[in-house]
């Protein structure tokens, strides 16, 4: 993963849409079944909308029925970072981009048992899909 990216709040606001900023920089969540990538089945790589770091491969995406794109693994173990999230009275594992610290979503231990057993539940608005990669 290339060097860490650090920008001011004003720089992120200038670069991102209001919704992208709310999700990635303020740890928000898009409404379930609202994201454009929930049903994408085309071959390619999902990149971070903030810094363009490659994060997930479409080959590892599955339909979890939860309303958000779900993957059973990240592209590499260095693509993402995991953090404890105790917001909203819950104990969850937050997933962030390791390059720019963008909030992507959460990972849960209820993914496909025949692969990793993990479900990366990711906000579509935090991703940028590159077809054919």
State residue 107's pLDDT score.
Answer: 96
State residue 1's pLDDT score.
Answer: 53
> What confidence category does residue 24 fall into, taking pLDDT thresholds of 50, 70 and 90?
very high
Which residue, among 102, 38, 88, 105, has the nearest Cα to 66 in the 3D structure? 38
User: 97: Cβ–Cβ under 8 A, 6 or more apart, which residues?
Assistant: 48, 50, 51, 53, 55, 79, 80, 81, 104
Bridge partners for 128 per DSSP: 47
> What confidence category does residue 103 fall into, taking pLDDT thresholds of 50, 70 and 90?
very high
What are the residue boundaries of the structural domains of the chain, listed by start? Answer: 9-131
Q: Which of 50, 51, 97, 121 is catalytic?
A: 121
The domain 9-131: what is its CATH number? 2.170.150.20
pTM for this predicted structure? 0.92
E strand or H helix that includes residue 83: strand 80-85
Examine the pLDDT at 8 and tell me if it is beyond 90: yes
Model pLDDT for residues 27-83, shown as the tens digit of each residue: 999 999 988 776 667 889 999 999 999 999 999 999 898 989 999 999 998 999 999
Active site residue 100: no
| Residue pointed to by tokens 């290339």 | 2
Model pLDDT for residues 109-132, shown as the tens digit of each residue: 999 999 999 999 999 999 999 998
């Amino acid at each position: 993963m290339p060097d860490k990216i650090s920008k001011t709040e004003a720089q992120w606001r200038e670069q991102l849409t209001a919704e992208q900023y709310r999700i990635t920089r303020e740890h928000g969540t898009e409404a379930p079944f609202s994201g454009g990538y929930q049903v994408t089945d085309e071959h390619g790589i999902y990149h971070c909308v903030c810094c363009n770091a490659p994060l997930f491969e479409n080959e590892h995406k599955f339909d979890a029925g939860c309303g958000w794109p779900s993957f059973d693994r990240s592209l590499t173990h260095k693509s993402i970072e995991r953090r404890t999230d105790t917001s909203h009275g819950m104990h969850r594992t937050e997933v962030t981009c390791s390059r720019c610290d963008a909030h992507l979503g959460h990972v849960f231990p209820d993914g496909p048992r025949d692969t990793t057993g993990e479900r990366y539940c990711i906000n579509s608005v935090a991703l940028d899909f590159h077809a054919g990669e």
